[in-house]
Amino acid sequence: MFAALAAASFVPIPATVHAEKEGDAKNASAAYTPNSASKRFTGNFGSKSVNYTATIQEQALKDDKGTPKAAIVTTSYVAEPRNPNRPVTFLFNGGPGSASLWLQMGAFGPKRVAIPSDARDDSGPPYPLLDNPDSILDVTDLVFIDPVGTGWSYAIGDADPKDYWGVTQDAKSVAQVIRQWLSENGRWNSPKFLGGESYGTTRSAAVVNELEGGYNDVALNGVILISTVLDFGAGADTEGNELSYITNLPSFAATALYHGKASAPSVETFVEEARRFAIGAYGAFLLKGQMASAEERASVRKELARFTGLSEQYLENADLRVTPYRFYKELLRDRGLTVGRLDSRYTGKDYDNAGEGPDNDPSFYGIDGGYTAAANSFFRDTIGYSTERNYSTIGGVRDWDWRLQGGRDTNAYLNVAPYLGKAMRENSGLRLLVAQGWYDFATPFFAAEYSLTRTGIPQDRVKFTYYDAGHMMYVRDEDRQKLSADVREFIQSR
C-alpha cells in the first residue's frame, strides 16, 4: 500500500526547478554576511580581576575564487586592554560532531553551568549560570571553535558539509580558522596553545600537523589533551584485538574500587597494580591465546576477579576477556544498577536487569540538559547573538571520513599520535599536558599512556595529570579547580 501511494504521488520535477535551486544556492553564497555579536564584561579569575570582551563570530571559509563555502563560529574571550604578546588558547570539543559548549560552560569559560558535582542527574531547569573563578582567562585569551555541523557552524549555499567531515578535512578547516583569527586580531606573535577534549584530542594532533607540518608554520607552545584518544587501533573494542582488554583493565579496577567491589588503600595504588598486571601476566596470557596453560589461566582468572570485582565464573564465561559494554551491566547487577561510560561514578537503572549491556549511558543523560540550556541562554540572551539556527550540541555530524593521508596500512591502523611526535621533534618548545579521569571508559587513561609513550615522542615534554572523575572531570567541583590550576601552571611555565 505504501509503495502504491508513493508511486501515485510521484511527480517529475522540471529542470527549471533544479536550476532555480542551484541559482538560490549561488545567491546565498554571494549574499553571505558573517553574523556576530560582542559584549564587554568584568570577572575574577585565578584571584585576578579581568576586563574582557566576549565575541561570537562566524569565520567564513572561502574557496580559491573567494566564494564563501562554510561558516565556522568562534566564541572568543579577550582581555582588555588587548595585548599582542599575551597567550591565546584555541579550544574545541570532540565527538566528532560535538560543539565546544562542554569545555566552555564547564571548565574554562568565564561562565559555567552549575550541575550536581557528585555524579547525580542534573534534573530539570532552571540551571544556575554562575561566574567561573576557575576560568583561565587571567593567563590566556580564549577562542572556542565549533567545526562545521556543530554549534551554529554550517555549510553555505550549495557547499556540502561532508566536505568538512573527516579527520584531515576537519583539521584543515580548523587550522584555517586559527590562521584567520590570528590575522584579524593581530596575534601572530602571541604564545599559542591548542586544547581539545575526547575526539578534540584527535583533532588537536591533526590540527598540529596542519599548522606545523609544512613550511608556512604556525608554531605552538603547547597542546592540552583532555580525555585523550589518539590510537584508535589499540583501543578498538572489537573481536581479535587483545590490546583493548589490556588498556581497559586499570579503568575496570578504578571503577570496581569506587563502587566497593574491590579493596585497596587508594585508587592510585590500585590502578598501578592493575597496570603492572595488565602488561605483565594478563598481557602474556592474552598473547598466548588458546596455548596458555590451565594453571596460568586459573592464576590470571583469580587476579582478574580481584581487579574487576567480577566473579571468576563470569570471567570464565567471557573467556577472561570482558568488554566495557558488558562490564557496565555486570559490575552492579546485584544492585540492579549499571555504571556510566563517560563517567563510571554515575549509575543508572535499566528497564530490567537481565540484559547483556545497559540501556543508555547515565553519565551522559545525567548532564546534557543543563549544558544545552546554559549555552543557549548565555550566548543568545546575555551576549546577544541572534540567529534562527538551532545550536547543535552533539550528534549533527554523520558519515565521518576516518582516512589519514597515507597508504593502506596507515588507514587500517588509525593513529594520530605520530603527528604530535613529529611536531615535538621539530619544535623544541612544544609541550603536552595530558589530563585523564580515572573513571573514563570513552577514553581510558591507560590507553592514553600507551599511545603517548611510544617511540618518537619526547617524554621530558609530556606531563600527565589525573582526576577523581571521568571523561568530563570538570563536572566535579574539586577536579574543575585542579584542572584549572594544572592548565594555568602549564601555560605560565612556557
Dihedral angle, C-alpha 388, 391, 396, 397, nearest 10 °: 100
Over residues 306-330, the pLDDT tens digits come to 999 999 999 999 999 999 999 999 9
Residues 380-434: pLDDT tens digits? 999 999 999 999 998 878 889 998 877 777 777 899 999 999 999 999 999 999 9
**What integer pLDDT is reported at residue 11 of this predicted model?**
37
Quick: pLDDT tens for 132-183.
Answer: 999 999 999 999 999 999 999 999 999 999 999 999 999 999 999 999 999 9
Which amino acid does the sequence have at 483?
L
Check residue 14 and report its DSSP letter: P
Q: Indicate whether this model's pTM tops 0.75.
A: yes
Confidence of residue 196 (pLDDT cuts 50, 70, 90): very high
CB 432 within 8 A of CB 463: yes
**Does residue 122 have a pLDDT over 70?**
no
Split at pLDDT 50, 70, 90, the class of 68 is: very high
pLDDT, residue 313, reads 98
State residue 17's pLDDT score. Answer: 44
Helices then strands, counting H and E runs in the chain, come out as: 18, 14
Q: What is the reported pLDDT for 283?
A: 97
CB 180 within 8 A of CB 173: no
C-alpha closest to that of 491 among 42, 135, 199: 135
Please tell me the predicted confidence (pLDDT) of residue 213. Answer: 87
- Per the structure block, which three cell numbers stand in for 136? 583561565
Query: Which residues does residue 401 pair with via DSSP β-bridges, in sequence order?
Result: 166
Please give the single-letter amino acid code of residue 263. Answer: S
- 27-233+368-492 is classed CATH 3.40.50.1820: yes
Per-domain residue ranges for the chain? 27-233+368-492, 253-336+346-365
Q: Is the pLDDT of residue 436 over 50?
A: yes
Task: Tell which residue, 427, 321, 94, has the closest CA to residue 230.
Answer: 94
Q: What is the pLDDT, as a whole number, of residue 10?
A: 34
pLDDT at 486 over 70: yes
Cβ burial of 214 (10 Å; 0-12, 13-18, 19+) is exposed
Work out the percent of the chain whose per-residue pLDDT is above 70: 92
d(CA 276, CA 255): 17
- pLDDT at 77 exceeding the cut of 70: yes
* 241-294 per-position pLDDT tens digit: 999 999 999 999 999 999 999 999 999 999 999 999 999 999 999 999 999 999
SS3 of residue 384 by DSSP? coil
* pLDDT score of 211: 97
Q: How far apart are CA 252 and CA 258, in angstroms?
A: 10
Dihedral of the CA atoms 299, 303, 304, 306 (nearest 10)?
150
How large is the average pLDDT for residues 12-30? 53
pLDDT at site 70: 96
Alpha-carbon distance of 356 to 351, in angstroms, equals 12
Residue 35 contacts residue 59 (beta carbons within 8 Å): no
Q: Which pLDDT does position 216 carry in this prediction?
A: 82
